[in-house]
Amino acid sequence: MKCTGAILASWLKFSRSDNMEATVSLISYTPQPDALCSVASKNCVSKEVPGFDMYANSLNTALESGHYSILEHATFTFSIENMTRVTLAQFTRHRMASYAVKSQRYTSAKGVDYILPGRIIELLNSNDESFNKFDQYHTSLKVFLDNLIDNKIPNEDIRYLFPEGTTTNMIVTMNGRELLHFFELRCCNKAQWEIRNIAKMMLKLVKEVAPIMFAKAGPPCVSGKCREKNPCGKA
């Protein structure tokens, strides 16, 4: 028996990282984000409140001058499904954001998924001893969690036993300025693979609705010089 993403137990499931990856949707955003941020920029140097005409040049000028505070007027809200708790911990290091995360306390402990990275799958598929040890661990954990449920242990306590790779769903809102910072760190090849994949999907979505704001978004090597002490060598 080899790991192929199949269900090994009745409700505690593991999935391959390459066939159950996170999905990202842009579910809400400030209307005309490029134009709005341009109006905010022009307002600083105009006698009267400016209109939305000829906004492109104004926004480019502001960004080239490093006036990123104007981007805080536009917000973007994403729905992210099937991300792991490992990546959730990395996301919440970005303080200038609002998060709503699926609760392990108020949702059923049954039907829990967790993701195994591809490199672990490769090891399990190439090494019978490693696979057997994993199978024993997985089965034992499932049996023990079943026992906790049978003994009426509440979800808020059972969740302490879940693997870090357990999947969750999240709604996150960031303003344009924080997103630029997020993409700078998380689209980098040095970032962890899961959050990097999610960041790239987020960047693709916002570029469609705010092409000027995010024209040069991404890791520092996109528009300048890498700041990593040990560069990836694949700028």
Per-residue model confidence as pLDDT tens digits over 79-118: 999 999 999 999 999 999 999 998 888 877 776 788 888 8
60 vs 3, residue with greater confidence? 60
pLDDT in tens, 124-158: 888 888 888 888 888 888 888 888 888 999 988 98
In terms of Cβ atoms closer than 10 Å to its own Cβ (0-12, 13-18, 19+), residue 163 is middle
- Per-residue confidence (pLDDT) for residue 10, from 0 to 100: 34
* 3-state SS, residue 41: helix
What value does the mean pLDDT of the chain take?
84
Amino acid found at 59 = L
In the predicted structure, residue 170 carries a pLDDT above the cut 90: yes
- Per-residue confidence (pLDDT) for residue 107, from 0 to 100: 79
In the predicted structure, residue 229 carries a pLDDT above the cut 80: no
Q: How confident is the model at residue 18 (pLDDT cuts 50, 70, 90)?
A: very low
- Per-residue confidence (pLDDT) for residue 72, from 0 to 100: 96
Q: How confident is the model at residue 6 (pLDDT cuts 50, 70, 90)?
A: very low
User: Which two structure tokens, joined as six digits, stand for 119?
Assistant: 């490199």
Close Cβ partners of 143 (under 8 Å, ≥ 6 residues apart): none
User: Which two structure tokens, joined as six digits, stand for 163?
Assistant: 């693997």
| 186: annotated active-site residue | yes
- Per-residue confidence (pLDDT) for residue 8, from 0 to 100: 32
In the predicted structure, residue 200 carries a pLDDT above the cut 70: yes
In the predicted structure, residue 2 carries a pLDDT above the cut 60: no
The mean pLDDT value for 173-198 works out to 95
Check 119, 186, 196, 227 and give the catalytic one.
Answer: 186
In the predicted structure, residue 12 carries a pLDDT above the cut 80: no
- Per-residue confidence (pLDDT) for residue 14, from 0 to 100: 55
Per-domain residue ranges for the chain?
15-30+75-217, 31-73
Q: Which long-range contacts (CB under 8 A, 24 or more apart) does 36-39 make?
A: 36/73, 36/74, 37/62, 37/70, 37/71, 37/73, 37/74, 37/176, 37/213, 38/62, 38/70
Percent of the chain scored above 90 by pLDDT?
44
CATH number of 15-30+75-217: 3.30.1360.170
Radius of gyration of the CA atoms of the chain, in A: 22
The whole model's pTM is what? Answer: 0.86
In the predicted structure, residue 167 carries a pLDDT above the cut 80: yes
